[in-house]
């Protein structure tokens, strides 16, 4: 069953990234349009996690508080990732944000899981390849705003993994539905606050409303399964495995479907980074 959960989780992550990328690059997107898109995704998640919470019939103050923190990180992670995708290539953006698994993987030390020297070396080499992938071609300017959004998404996504471990290491780990319901309720409230007066005036095409609803289903599946898996597997195995498999598939899709191209230096960086993610997962 663990293998099935891993496959479905990775597939959900890849599909949501494809929808996010398609919307972000379909036209010059404003922050309000990105937030508006995410609101539809959050509504679907709230409905699905609401049903799950009713079934479990349990929610504690600890779950509410940690859920709100998770929701704040989630909203900012999605928003910054989509802003980064609107300004830069999908493959490099996702390599940076996916490498955020370093944060929860290292946090496993505080949960008594330990961290091996070979894995630490793998993380250092991974950072080197990420640096290579940030290179630009001749005559190309480095987009500082793209890098900033990617970096913000990196940290938010990394600490999402930490919050998963904190909740699943507690006595309230069975309250998965309540935890994620609180997270997406907070994400919705936070998004409306960010929209401000733009709630009534911001519009997106009907096609992308459907995309955002589909994203809601994938986000639901990914978050629910990842929360379960974070309590079933050690950090140094779970996070590299899920993130590593998703970045490999996403990179192939970015080249084959979205026709993105890389310089030789960037190609070495992306391929080397992917290899490091796999190695971190396999090393003892």
Q: What's the average model confidence in pLDDT over 174-182?
A: 92
pLDDT at 100 over 80: yes
Cα separation, 248 vs 11, whole angstroms = 11
Contacts of residue 17, defined as CB under 8 A and 6 or more positions apart, other chains included, come to 90, 94, 246, 250
Of the given ranges (55-64, 211-220, 241-250), which has the lowest mean pLDDT? Answer: 241-250
**Per-position b or e across 108-144, b if 16+ CB within 10 A of its CB:** beeeeeebeeebeebbebbeebbebbbbeeeeeeeee
Cα separation, 221 vs 75, whole angstroms = 17
Specify whether the CB–CB gap between 52 and 176 falls below 8 A: yes
pLDDT tens profile 53-85: 888 777 899 999 999 999 999 999 999 999 998
Specify whether the CB–CB gap between 232 and 269 falls below 8 A: no
pLDDT at 51: 93
**Higher pLDDT residue, 135 or 37?**
37
pLDDT at 79: 92
Tally of CB atoms within 10 A around 68: 18
Three-state DSSP state, 205: coil
Helices (H), 26-170: 31-56, 61-87, 90-98, 102-107, 117-133, 144-168
Q: What's the average model confidence in pLDDT over 201-209?
A: 83
Specify whether the CB–CB gap between 149 and 87 falls below 8 A: yes
pLDDT at 232 over 70: yes
Provide the token pair at 47. Answer: 């409905």
Q: Tell me the DSSP string of 114-139.
A: ---HHHHHHHHHHHHHHHHHT---TT
pLDDT at 33 over 60: yes
Q: What's the average model confidence in pLDDT over 94-114?
A: 73
Domain ranges of the chain: 2-116+140-235
Q: What's the average model confidence in pLDDT over 239-245?
A: 72
pLDDT at 211 over 80: yes
pLDDT tens profile 111-158: 666 667 787 788 788 778 877 776 655 445 567 899 999 999 999 999
Cα separation, 15 vs 17, whole angstroms = 5
Specify whether the CB–CB gap between 168 and 231 falls below 8 A: yes
Specify whether the CB–CB gap between 228 and 176 falls below 8 A: yes
Cα separation, 75 vs 185, whole angstroms = 10
When the pLDDT of each residue in the chain is averaged and rounded to a whole number, the result is: 83
| Unique residue bearing structure tokens 């990842």 | 226
Q: What are phi and psi of 16, to 5 degrees?
A: -65, -35
């Amino acid at each position: 069953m663990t293998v099935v959960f891993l496959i479905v989780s990775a597939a959900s992550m890849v599909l949501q990234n494809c929808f996010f990328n398609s919307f972000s690059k379909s036209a010059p997107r404003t922050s309000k349009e990105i937030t508006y898109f995410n609101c539809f995704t959050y509504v679907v998640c709230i409905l699905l996690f609401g049903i799950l919470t009713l079934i479990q019939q349990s929610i504690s103050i600890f779950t509410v508080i940690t859920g709100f923190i998770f929701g704040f990180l989630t909203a900012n992670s999605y928003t910054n990732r989509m802003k980064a995708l609107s300004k830069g290539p999908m493959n490099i953006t996702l390599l940076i944000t996916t490498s955020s698994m370093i944060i929860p993987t290292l946090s496993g030390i505080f949960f008594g899981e330990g961290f091996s020297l070979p894995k630490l070396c793998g993380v250092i080499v991974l950072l080197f390849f990420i640096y290579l992938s940030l290179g630009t071609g001749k005559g190309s300017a480095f987009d500082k705003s793209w890098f900033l959004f990617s970096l913000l998404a990196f940290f938010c996504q990394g600490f999402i993994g930490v919050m998963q471990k904190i909740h699943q290491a507690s006595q309230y780990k069975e309250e998965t539905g309540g935890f994620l319901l609180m997270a997406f309720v907070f994400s919705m409230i936070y998004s409306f606050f960010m929209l401000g007066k733009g709630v009534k005036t911001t519009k997106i095409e009907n096609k992308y409303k459907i995309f955002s609803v589909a994203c809601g289903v994938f986000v639901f599946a990914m978050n629910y399964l990842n929360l379960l898996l974070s309590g079933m597997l050690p950090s140094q195995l779970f996070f590299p495995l899920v993130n590593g498999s998703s970045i490999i598939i996403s990179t192939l899709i970015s080249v084959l479907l979205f026709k993105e191209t890389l310089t030789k230096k960037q190609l070495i960086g992306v391929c080397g980074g992917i290899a490091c993610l796999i190695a971190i997962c396999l090393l003892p």
